[in-house]
Structure 1
Amino acid sequence: MSTTNILFEIGLEEMPARFLSDAEVQLKQKTQHWLTSIRLPYESVKTYVTPRRLAVVIEGLANKQLDQEEEAKGPAKKIAVDEEGNWSKAAIGFSKGQGKSVDDIYFKEVNGTSYAFVNKYIQGASAEVLLINFKDVIMDLTFPKNMRWAGKTMRFVRPIRWLVALNQSNIIPFEIGGVSTSNSTYGHRFLGEQVTIKDPLMYEELLATQYVIADSNERKERISDQIKQLEQEKGWHIPMDSDLLEEVTQLVEYPTVFYGTFNDKFLTIPDEALITSMKEHQRYFPVLSDNEELLPYFVAVRNGDNRSIEVVAKGNEKVLKARLSDAMFFFEEDQKHSIEQYNAKLSRIVYQEKLGTIADKVQRVRALTDKITTLLDVDQTTKQNALRAAEISKFDLVTNMVNEFTKLQGIMGEKYARLFGENEQVAKAINEHYMPRSANDALPQSTEGAAVSIADKLDTIIGCISVGIIPSGSQDPYALRRQAIGVLQILQQTGWDVTVEKLIDVTKELYQTLEIEKSSEDNIDEEINSFFYARASYILREATSEQDIIEAVLANGIGNISFAYKKAALLTDKRHDTSFKDTQEALVRVLNLAKKGTNSGVDATLLQNAQEQKLYDNFQAIKVKYQEQIRAYEATQSLETLSQFTPFIHDFFDHTMVMTDDEQLKNNRLSLLNEIAALINQFADLSKIEWKQQLNA
């Protein structure tokens, strides 16, 4: 089959950089799906995206659809043929509707009933006819925000200025929003010009002559290479923040890296504020020395070549000077007030309508920090530092610097706390209590910071759920999921001797003392428990545990999350360990049979045979040691202790009828199994694990 090459390009006013990556992914996926749906085979689909264009090149596209044979199902045989064996009107109508005659009908049984069928041959249409409909793919693209322009009714990300649609050198005719397709494209807004495309495969090369690097990966690589070259020439270290690199890549069509300088007096501003000002407002890369000290330089990316680059640098220096002057003003002004004055302002800022002001939240966080540090039994100095950090944890929210750069919350709190004379542990904890700020962010390193962080996050989670704010789908305005995961990650890292349930309980106890309008108490408990269970399942799954093992470990609550990690990892290994098979079978048999009765207490005088007595004696001997190991969160040791039951359980079942007709004996034996099952369940509900499939694999 002969093939052809296709180009589609949508020329636009500049699109927001943050839209481009997703738009390119969409364009490729939707194009591939469309080609598959219309049965047009192809060799490859290559997409391009710049601020002013979205384009796709389809290479090796078949010139016509694949021919298709289709089996059409008609009426049942009893309807298609009358009692005399003649074709019915239904059969005649069915065959005509398929472009066939009754001579083409055959019968085939489906689910015990015979139906009429005909085979249809559908000749493939030419690509030339089908390609006109690519405009449907374009209109199916979605963006976070669309707009209308020039009185038009259609909505799109930005006004469409030109359209290219080529089948080899032939124009594919269609129109969108009053713009008709052609074979003309436009280069760089200032350096390029209008050019004619004669071959879709020359698209990328042709644009390069017009100062447009169409491939975003190539633009990113050019920026990275130029920055690395600048590092070598100047002896600098220029950290390439991945988000910033992605943004500047999508802001330009022809990237040229340059650098500028600023007055070193601005280095008195905290590094984080300087860097944030450069990145957030100007999309500049900061420059560091070999020992990671900030230098009075910046690196930027121009949308164009290097002509008059010195003039461009000077212009950027002027703009940055104004930005840094603002930052210095904010920094100096913020130091004219005290922490207490800032804290007083928090009472005028609503945190959430039903949960009060930020000042109210701070009071709750302090109270929870008190409860948590008491649970942890920390020393008095640590406790007082944590309480002070909780008390002033939000004061920087009303500073000029954080008002201008919201990402600096906590960071500026730490800086200002030091300047205002707070001790190092308190200052550090103010910043740490926001951690982790994102999925891969660092966790608090100090006990004070970890305690306040957990208190703050639990207050947010329990508070929001209590007043009916529950995440659903993609809606999670208070980031409750991320905050719950943060709590679990901190607990896993610290290994504190405290359960998730206990922390939830002390938070709920605090909320019971507050005069807030809450949802139904039963619903609150159910929502909180299921919410944390889902988050615990998520982070255990991220640690490569399989779902059945997660369910086994969490069957009786989350408990100590660090211990849950250890148990999940150990059971993942054991499910593939054939030497554990005897133990697994013994323990699971106990769990399954124990469910048939209750624990009414074991009467030792009713133990009838030696195997029954040995199992009971072994239970008494093992129980204390095992529970000590569980309390010490010793996963390996406690499972090894459980394994000691193995021969005694097998002997017991080989020589003892549990479900005997004697009710007293049956209940006594079920009580013994229930007591052993209770020990096993302290580790995990092993009956939830799909052992057999793994061991036989």
Structure 2
Amino acid sequence: MAKDLLFEIGAEEIPAGFMPSILQQLQDLTAQKLQDAHLPFGTVTTYGTPRRVAVLVKDLADQSADISERHKGPSVSIAYDADGNATKAAIGFARGKGLDVADLVVEDGYIFAETTSKGVSAEDIVKEILPQLISGLNFPKSMHWGNLDDKFVRPVRWLVALLDDQVIPVEFATVQSGNVSRGHRFLGESEFVIANPADYVATLEKNFVMVDQNKRREVIKEQLFAIAAEKNADIVWDDDLLEEILYLVEWPTALCGGFEDSYLALPDAAIITPMKDHQRYFPLMSKDGKLLPMFLTVRNGNDKSIEVVQVGNERVLRARLDDAKFFFNEDRKKALIDREEGLTKIVFQEGLGNLADKTKRLLELGRVFGEACELDEDAAVELERATLLAKTDLTTGMVTEFTELQGVMGKEYALLDGESPEVAEAIFEQYLPRFAGDVLPKTDTGKVLSIIDKVDNIVATFSRGLIPTGSQDPYALRRQTIGILNILLESKWNVNLGPIFVAAMNLLNVPADKQAELQGQLEEFFTLRLKNIYLDRQIPHHVIDLLLSNTALSVADAEGLANAVMNNRIDENVELVQAYTRMYNLVKDVTYTGVDESKLVEDAEKALFADATKAAAVSQEAWDNMDYAGVVAVPATLVDSINKFFEDVMVMDKDEVIKANRLQLVRLAYSVIAVIGDVSKLK
């Protein structure tokens, strides 16, 4: 008869940001442990609130399935002597499997032992795996408390472990499991009995704990949008904010608060940021897109004395907005351009000067990159001005208090100072993308400023030997690298980053004898990030390896070739791959210096020379025009000539002059695919 399993871990308030990962881990780990134990089950569902994580397994079998296994032993010649008697090898093998020698089976020259393990009761299996579920969870940070060695994300206060109505004994950090859970801190019972797993969700709701996070999410959204509709307003929506609030409350009740209209004189960002990032409020906007003096928030409780809660939230927000108003008014006493001196007081990185020094480097890098991407004169002027102002908002009180507003307030202050919209936008866009899935810069000036700022950050950090390893990346260099690559992929600027790295290293005074090594590290780091981008797009490994084997490619080249190869699929053309692989094996270490046509003897080599010369010209013209589809189409045109050449011509001729000339011919023919990458990667 199928049973249900409930395991609830009650703890002190768990950080909201940790919860999605914890619940996913718990679900995956539970399913994996049951599968490993060969115990059939129905569904595995996880639940979570600030004070608990739980897993509910439906339709758990009474016991695990019997397992029949076939074990391969030594060969017959080793297992039996010349007289057919079992040797020590056979006897030991049988004993190890709990069998008599006579039970062994001979097949295909080997002996086999066939064993059957009887199923184990669900109770015994669950007793074993529940402690493993606790210890198997990983957290960004763990705690241990008292004088205990046990660790968990927060101190564990109770455990519920039920197989139907039977308590499964589990102990963790001196806490013994039972059938007693706890309700909402202020509204529910401090302790109550869970009769059986099937009653878990309903029993908790009676005690003001909406334990199903999916239901809780929908209830929160319904309440928020209902209030917004009453106010004839739109919510400044943020999925991440909803997800955080979701794991801060056990019994959600949305409410609306307000603030004085006078605060609307502040830039919208100066109001929205304190609301969302500091107070976890949803701002409201009018139907025509103007910020309203109202906000929505979610209380962890019912609607009793909701007016008091509203007033408290309004008072806290008012203090935040007063701070913002003060900083804004103080900041406006000095234009951004007059704040350059303040950059000398802000350290960039240890041993690498201050932000004034960084600004000087960015000005020079901007000229180098601007020339490389052929930035027009107007954009170059805008870039220089935006670079001068790029970091000045870091000296303002507003950004010092609300660091999330770097770039945002720079844009606002630049506009108020009378700077051009293009310059102001670039100041904001320098930090884009700020996180995975964020928007990319739209203006050419913003794209360049974003790229050179990130290149300077990455090269500077690498020059200090702080290259990210494993999961450690305190300077977010991986994110910045992916940002650069995505900007280049979107812009299609045909810019090779190698010279930009060299310029950055020179500006950072990296010793000449260290630059080659550092350049290699940077290129490897960027190549791996680009590979990850392509893997996310489901491009096959061997195609990625083909393209990235050509280190001379710009990001635009790699992107163009990636799309062309995926449309043409030369990697699936077996005859083509074989022909060029054969050439690669001959000339992989040969440098092309030219073919002496007068030394071509055989008709097949003369034909290949004519075809390869034409193909190389066609390929080069397509390359010059960034016609990547044309470049990728050329190799197939030579396959017949290549095959005929290898059929009729002895490349490794006894005459060294003829041999060398034929290798040059092969090198010429191979060049039409070498421009794409190393064909050996397709094998």
TM above 0.5, yes or no, is yes
SS at match of 2:55: strand
The answer as to 2:546 corresponding to 1:549 is no
| Equivalent residue in structure 2 for 1:203, among 200, 205, 208 | 200
Question: Aligned partners of 1:455, 1:447: CA distance in 2, in Å?
Answer: 12
Deviation at 1:635, TM superposition (A): 1.0
- Which residue pairs with 2:658 in the alignment? 665
Counterpart AA for 1:177: A
Is it true that 1:434 corresponds to 2:431 in the alignment?
Answer: yes
Which secondary structure state, in structure 1, belongs to the residue aligned with residue 46 of structure 2?
strand
Specify whether residues 524 and 112 from structure 1 end up closer, same or farther in structure 2 by C-alpha distance, changes over 3 A only: farther
1:123, 1:555 → 2: CA distance?
A: 54
Q: Given the alignment, which residue of 672, 676, 682 partners 2:675? A: 682
For residues 149 and 593 of structure 2, the distance between their equivalents in structure 1, rounded to whole angstroms, comes to 76
| Residue 126 (1) aligns with residue 121 (2) | yes
Using the TM superposition, name which of 205-214 and 354-363 deviates more.
354-363
Query: Structure 1 CA distance, aligned partners of 2:282 and 2:668?
Result: 64
**Change in CA separation of 1:76 and 1:633 when aligned onto 2, cut-off 3 Å:** closer
2:462 matched to which residue of 1?
465
Aligned residues of 2:48 and 2:54 also touching (Cα < 8 A): yes
Which of 133, 139, 143 pairs up with 1:143?
139
2:248 pairs, out of 246, 251, 260, with: 251
C-alpha contact 1:256 1:303 (8 A) present in aligned 2: yes
1:568-594 Cα distance to aligned partner (Å, 9 max, x none)? 11112222798x777666655554544
Distance in 2 (CA, whole Å) between partners of 1:175 and 1:149 is 16
> Pick from 507, 526, 533: which aligns with 1:532?
526
Secondary structure at the aligned position of 2:370 is classed as helix
Residue identity matched to 2:362:
V
Q: Does 1:11 align with 2:13?
A: no
C-alpha distance in 2 between matches for 1:603 and 1:158: 77
CA distance in 2 between partners of 1:247 and 1:91 (Å): 62
Q: CA deviation at 1:631?
A: 2.0
Give the Å deviation of 1:369: 0.7
Equivalent residue letter for 1:674: R
2:88 and 2:679 mapped to 1: Cα distance?
Answer: 64
Is the Cα contact below 8 Å between 1:606 and 1:665 reproduced in 2?
yes
Structure 2 residue aligned with 1:182? 178
Q: What is the match of residue 312 of structure 1?
A: 309
Deviation per residue, 1:521-569 (Å, 9 max, x gap): 4421321221222122222333332222222223222523223212111
Contact 1:77 1:107 in 2 (8 A): no
Q: 1:155 to 1:491 in 2, by over 3 A?
A: closer
Deviation at 1:245, TM superposition (A): 0.7
Amino acid of the structure 2 residue aligned with 1:127: A
Q: 1:346 to 1:67 in 2, by over 3 A?
A: same
Q: Is residue 632 from structure 1 mapped to residue 625 from structure 2 by the alignment? A: yes
Aligned to 2:41: 42
Q: What is the aligned partner in structure 2 of residue 159 from structure 1? A: 155
Q: Which amino acid is the alignment partner of residue 320 of structure 2?
A: R
Mapping 1:53-202, distance limit 5 Å: 53-68=52-67, 103=100, 106-107=103-104, 122-133=117-128, 134-149=130-145, 152-193=148-189, 194-202=191-199
SS in 2 for 1:147: coil
**Structure-to-structure mapping, 1:234-383, within 5 angstroms:** 234-340=231-337, 342-383=339-380
- Supply the distance in 2 between the matched residues of 1:488 and 1:143 (Cα, whole angstroms): 30
CA RMSD of aligned residues (A): 3.3
Instruction: State the shift of 1:410 in Å.
Output: 1.0
Residues 58-67 or 24-33, more deviating: 58-67
Residue pair 1:57, 1:200 contacting (<8 A) in 2 also: yes
Contact 1:468 1:518 in 2 (8 A): no
Q: Offset at 1:681?
A: 1.8
CA shift for structure 1 position 287: 0.9
Displacement, 1:284?
Answer: 0.7
Unaligned runs of 5+ in 1: 691-697
Cα drift, residue 461 of structure 1:
1.8
SS at match of 2:348: strand
2:554 maps to which residue?
A: 560
Give 1:274's aligned amino acid.
I
- Secondary structure at the aligned position of 2:533 is classed as helix
- 1:28–1:47 contact (8 Å) kept in structure 2: yes
SS in 1 for 2:6: strand
CA distance in 2, matches of 1:522, 1:629: 32
- Cα 1:656–1:71, aligned 2, differ >3 Å: closer, same or farther? closer
Q: How does 1:596-635 map to 2 (within 5 A)?
A: 598-621=591-614, 623-635=616-628
Seen in structure 2, the aligned counterparts of structure 1 residues 505 and 619 have a Cα distance that, compared at 3 Å, is farther
Checking the alignment, whether the CA contact within 8 Å between 2:39 and 2:63 is kept in structure 1 is yes
Contact 2:498 2:519 in 1 (8 A): no
Whole-Å Cα distance in 2 between the matches of residues 16 and 390 of structure 1?
39
What amino acid is the match of 2:554? N
SS at match of 2:235: coil
Deviation (angstroms), 1:39:
4.0
Q: More displaced, 411-420 or 147-156?
A: 147-156
Farther-moved stretch of structure 1 (200-209 vs 622-631): 622-631
* In 1, Cα distance between equivalents of 2:513 and 2:257: 57
Provide Cα deviations, 1:196-244, integer angstroms capped at 9, x if missing partner. Answer: 2222101101111222111111111111222233333333211331110
DSSP 3-state at the match of 1:55 = strand
1:471 Cα shift? 1.4
1:374-453 equivalences under 5 Å are 374-453=371-450
Aligned residue identity for 1:41 = P
Indicate if the aligned counterparts of 1:611 and 1:655 stay in contact, CA closer than 8 A: yes
More displaced 10-residue stretch of structure 1: 12-21 or 304-313? 304-313
Q: 2:228–2:284: 8 Å Cα contact kept in structure 1?
A: no
310 and 519 in structure 1: CA distance in 2 versus 1, 3 angstrom threshold = farther
SS in 2 for 1:461: helix
One-letter amino acid of the counterpart of residue 662, structure 2? R
Q: What is the rounded CA distance, in whole Å, between the counterparts of 1:265 and 1:468 in structure 2?
A: 50
2-structure distance, mates of 1:319, 1:554: 54
Q: Give the partner amino acid of 1:349.
A: I
Distance of aligned partners of 1:595 and 1:174 in 2 relative to their CA distance in 1, 3 Å threshold: closer
Is contact 2:25-2:137 (8 Å) kept? yes
Equivalent residue pairs, number:
681
Question: SS where residue 47 of structure 2 aligns?
Answer: strand
Query: Does the 8 A contact of 2:427 with 2:446 survive in 1?
Result: yes
Distance verdict in 2 for CA 1:620–1:328, change over 3 Å: same
User: How big is the shift at 1:356?
Assistant: 2.4
Identity of aligned residues (%): 40
Question: Is residue 494–residue 557 contact of structure 2 (8 Å, CA) maintained in 1?
Answer: no
**Residue 307 and residue 96 in structure 1: after superposition, are their counterparts in 2 closer, same or farther (change >3 A)?**
same
Deviation at 1:20, TM superposition (A): 1.6
Question: Which residue number corresponds to residue 693 of structure 1?
Answer: none
Distance 1:505 1:592, change over 3 A: same
- Residue 110 of structure 1 deviates from its aligned partner by 9.7
Deviations, residues 224-269 of structure 1 (Å, cap 9, x unaligned):
2222333333332113311101011111111122211111211122
Q: 1:263 to 1:596 in 2, by over 3 A?
A: closer
Corresponding residue SS for 1:350: coil
* In structure 1, C-alpha distance between the alignment counterparts of 2:93 and 2:612, rounded to whole Å: 76
C-alpha distance in 2 between matches for 1:602 and 1:375: 34
What is the CA deviation profile of residues 115-136 of structure 1, one whole-angstrom value per residue up to 9, with x for unaligned ones? 8x5x666544433344444234
Cα distance in 2 for partners of 1:621, 1:77 equals 64
Between the aligned partners of 1:601 and 1:576, the Cα distance in structure 2 is 27
